């Protein structure tokens, strides 16, 4: 799952996949701003066929949190 | 290319595929320093609930647009129309909002008609492809003031890019078309003028409409050309005499109606018209032909032809929009066909054949040759009845007659050809009468679907090699001319037979069978003549 998320990030941020590290976050990655954050959410929803609540999206500001919320969704919570 | 976008909502995702885009502040008509190729007016009506508020906003958009146009310094000014289908309506009878939107749109079309730099982009063309609930996604709207659902971005990108191309005047020039099962249903050489499907009933009606589309494309400056495996005389007779034919010979700027491979034909057409091979779009129902062209001339655009006739008109509209749509036409565009015809040099003799053998090998063609049996005889009979073009003697046989010949010491065979595109089924047949050690090829025919890969030689040579091992020492054969079979006129000459032309124009051939035939190793041949 981590690699699939990174792949989506690479597409949204127009970056090579190897530039996306495990500790990527909105704070340490310049291209991750409010607009690309939204696009990232859209593309992750698309990729995993889920729909996040706005409250979740606000928390999903690093790879770890994205994984966490995605896992919750995929388990049906 | 640099673009400045005037906007009143978040629109960045719509243009994220383009480089060099600068955005105005929300609702600002201030034009920044710098050079821009395009200014884009991309305003959306805010999804409000009060009609008066919406009317006020439309009026405000109108005023700002006027200001922006006055101050614009970019080369082109593109204006998105307004579309209010996502706005609420509280009374069915109320049309104040839609009326105001129409007035706004009419006024921008008027601006465009009186200007060479102002161009209109009809957003409803995009919206029409989606359901209302797909157009605006309220979650993203409330999160980010995005009107158009971000899930539509991919469609928007493709759509808008084709619009930019059409405004920049980038388009393909020439449409090369196949005939059989493309411009009409059926095979002209087999079914005849009266047998092809082109008329009021399905599926002929689809081909009529397809031809009408081609005619409009031609009026809009697209050059039409033909590359078809057919007898040229038959083709022009059909264009002249078929009552439902929409297109006429005059509509085509160039044509190659012959049995050469289509990559060569397309290259010749491009050379003749003095256009790049990358300006050609080739439409052919046969995936074998398309794939051959792709292999040899990869720059030619090769759209996948639809499987069902009723899908053809949508298919063609898509091809037109993608490759030929122009924002507007110049006078030159509309008289193009005439110009090209006048300029075109007939270069029919300067043929540059690239080797296609490597391509043919890559197809993994398997030719399976069988003796006639109770399962395949009906198909062999049908081939003798229907095959006109590649048919050396055009002798028609009934099923009892075939059975009778087969029961004697003769050899009736058939061949099926399959390749990576699929199995064409039984597409070749031959009748060889055996008298002691003399073999007489009474009939030999191939369906035109499998021509163009030299299988016609491989099949008969394999059979004759078999007969050589059976002790046959001499082969006799014939070419009997018919109105349709001129392409086979020199077939046996090419195989090394000696000919004698009879008064009836029939060519009578003989060959001493002293060694095995050789042929290019392009296929796997399975000869199943045991027992």
Distance (Å, whole) CA B457 – CA B462? 8
Domain hosting A56: range is 26-77
Q: Comparing B237-246, B329-338, B428-437, B482-491, which segment has the lowest mean pLDDT? A: B329-338
- CATH for B3-168, options being 1.10.530.10, 3.30.1330.50, 3.40.50.1110, 3.60.15.10: 3.40.50.1110
The total number of structural domains in chain A stands at: 1
- CA triple B4-B5-B8, angle to 5 deg: 150
Q: Is residue A48 part of a domain?
A: yes
Across the interface, of A34, A38, A54, the residue whose CB is closest to B150 is A38
Contacts of A71 (CB under 8 A, 6+ apart): A1
Q: Rounded to the nearest 5°, which phi and psi values hold at A51?
A: -135, 120
Sorted by where each begins, the domain ranges of chain B are 3-168, 174-354, 364-528
The band of B368, judged by pLDDT with boundaries at 50, 70 and 90, is: very high
**Distance from the A21 Cα atom to the nearest Cα atom in chain B, whole angstroms:** 23
- Whether residue A42 and residue B151 make contact (CB cut-off 8 A), yes or no, is yes
Helix (H) or strand (E) run with residue B207 in it: helix B204-219
In a domain, A31, yes or no: yes
Q: Which residue of B has its CA nearest to A12?
A: B16
In CATH terms, the superfamily for domain B364-528 is Gcn5-related N-acetyltransferase (GNAT) (3.40.630.30)
Distance from CA of B150 to the nearest CA of A (A): 7
Three-state DSSP class for residue B120: strand
Angle (nearest 5°) at CA B180 between B177 and B184 = 90
The answer to whether position A71 is within a domain reads yes
Per-residue pLDDT of B271-290, as tens digits, reads 888 888 999 999 999 999 99
| Confidence label for B355 from pLDDT (cuts 50, 70 and 90) | low
Q: Does A19 reside within a domain? A: no
Q: Distance between CA B398 and CA B381 in Å, rounded?
A: 6
Q: If you average pLDDT over residues B496-517, what whole number do you get?
A: 93
pTM for the full predicted model = 0.63
Q: What are the backbone angles phi and psi of residue B20, rounded to the nearest 5°?
A: 75, 40
Q: Which one is predicted more confidently, B341 or B40?
A: B40
Per CB-CB distance under 8 Å, the chain B contacts of A39 are 13, 16, 150
Give the chain B residue nearest A43 (alpha carbons): B151
User: What average pLDDT does range A55-77 have in this prediction?
Assistant: 89
Size of interface A-B (CB pairs under 8 A): 25
Other beta carbons within 10 Å of B182: 19
Residue A58 contacts B, CB cutoff 8 Å? no
A49 at the B interface (CB within 8 A)?
A: no
Nearest chain A residue (CA) to B17: A14
Residue B333 pLDDT: 61
Chain A interface, best mutation among B150, B152, B153, by max A CB count within 10 A:
B150
- Strands of B195-321 (E only): list them: 223-228, 252-257, 280-283
From chain A, the residues in CB contact with B142 under 8 A are 54
Topology (CATH level 3) of domain B174-354 = Rossmann fold (3.40.50)
Residues of chain A in contact with residue B139, where contact means CB-CB under 8 angstroms, are 51, 54
Chain A's closest residue to B154, CA to CA, is A43
On the question of a common fold for B3-168 and B364-528, the answer reads no
* pLDDT value, residue B329: 63
- Asked if residues B519 and B457 have their Cβ atoms less than 8 Å apart, the reply is yes
Q: Give domain status of residue A64, yes or no.
A: yes
DSSP state, residue A22: T
The answer to whether the CB of B380 falls within 8 A of the CB of B426 is yes
Q: What is the ipTM of this complex?
A: 0.86
- B10/A42 Cβ within 8 A: no
Instruction: Give A77 to chain B, closest Cα distance, Å.
Output: 19
């Amino acid at each position: 799952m981590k690699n699939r998320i990174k792949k989506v990030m690479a597409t949204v941020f127009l970056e090579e996949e190897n530039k996306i590290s495990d500790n990527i976050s909105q704070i340490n990655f310049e291209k991750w701003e409010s607009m690309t954050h939204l696009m990232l959410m859209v593309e992750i929803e698309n990729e995993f066929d889920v729909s996040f609540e706005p409250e979740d999206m606000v928390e999903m500001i690093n790879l770890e949190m994205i994984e966490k919320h995605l896992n919750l969704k995929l388990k049906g919570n | 290319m640099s673009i400045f976008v005037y906007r009143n909502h978040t629109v960045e995702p719509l243009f994220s595929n383009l480089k060099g885009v600068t955005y105005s502040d929300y609702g600002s008509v201030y034009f920044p320093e710098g050079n821009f190729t395009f200014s884009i007016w991309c305003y959306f009506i805010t999804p409000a609930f009060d009609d008066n508020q919406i009317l006020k906003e439309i009026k405000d958009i109108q005023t700002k647009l006027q200001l922006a146009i006055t101050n614009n310094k970019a080369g082109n000014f593109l204006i998105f129309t307004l579309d209010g289908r996502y706005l609420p309506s509280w009374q069915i009878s109320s049309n104040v909002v839609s009326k105001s939107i129409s007035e706004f749109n009419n006024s921008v079309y008027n601006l465009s008609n009186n200007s060479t730099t102002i161009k209109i982009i009809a957003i409803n063309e995009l919206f029409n492809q989606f359901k209302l609930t797909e157009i605006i996604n309220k979650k993203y709207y409330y999160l980010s003031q995005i009107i158009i659902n971000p899930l539509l971005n991919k469609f928007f990108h493709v759509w808008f890019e084709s619009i930019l191309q059409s405004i920049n005047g980038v388009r393909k020039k020439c449409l090369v078309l196949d005939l059989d099962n493309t411009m009409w249903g059926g095979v002209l050489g087999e079914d005849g003028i009266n047998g092809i499907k082109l008329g009021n009933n399905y599926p002929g009606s689809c081909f009529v409409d397809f031809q009408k589309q081609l005619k409009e494309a031609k009026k809009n400056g697209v050059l039409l050309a033909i590359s078809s495996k057919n007898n040229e005389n038959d083709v022009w007779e059909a264009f002249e005499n078929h009552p439902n034919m929409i297109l006429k010979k005059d509509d085509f700027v160039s044509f190659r109606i012959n049995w050469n491979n289509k990559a060569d034909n397309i290259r010749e057409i491009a050379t003749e018209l003095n256009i790049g091979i990358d300006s050609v779009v080739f439409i052919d129902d046969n995936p074998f032909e398309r794939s051959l062209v792709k292999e040899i001339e990869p720059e030619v655009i090769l759209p996948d032809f639809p499987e069902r006739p009723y899908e053809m008109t949508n298919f063609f509209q898509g091809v037109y929009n993608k490759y030929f749509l122009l924002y507007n036409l110049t006078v030159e565009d509309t008289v193009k066909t005439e110009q090209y015809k006048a300029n075109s040099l007939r270069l029919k003799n300067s043929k540059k054949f690239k080797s296609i053998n490597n391509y043919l090998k890559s197809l993994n063609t398997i030719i399976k040759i069988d003796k006639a049996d109770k399962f395949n005889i009906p198909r062999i009979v049908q081939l003798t009845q229907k095959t006109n073009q590649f048919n050396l003697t055009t002798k028609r046989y009934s099923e009892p007659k075939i059975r009778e010949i087969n029961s004697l010491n003769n050899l009736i065979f058939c061949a099926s050809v399959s390749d990576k595109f699929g199995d064409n089924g039984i597409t070749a047949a031959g009748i060889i009468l055996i008298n002691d050690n003399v073999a007489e090829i009474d009939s030999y025919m191939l369906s035109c679907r499998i021509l163009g890969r030299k299988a016609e030689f491989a099949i008969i040579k394999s059979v004759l090699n078999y007969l050589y091992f059976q002790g046959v020492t001499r082969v006799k054969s014939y070419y009997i001319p018919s109105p349709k079979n001129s392409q086979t006129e020199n077939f046996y000459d090419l195989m090394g037979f000696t000919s004698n032309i009879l008064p009836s124009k029939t060519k009578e051939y003989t060959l001493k069978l002293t060694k095995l035939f050789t042929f290019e190793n392009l296929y796997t041949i399975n000869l199943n003549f045991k027992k």
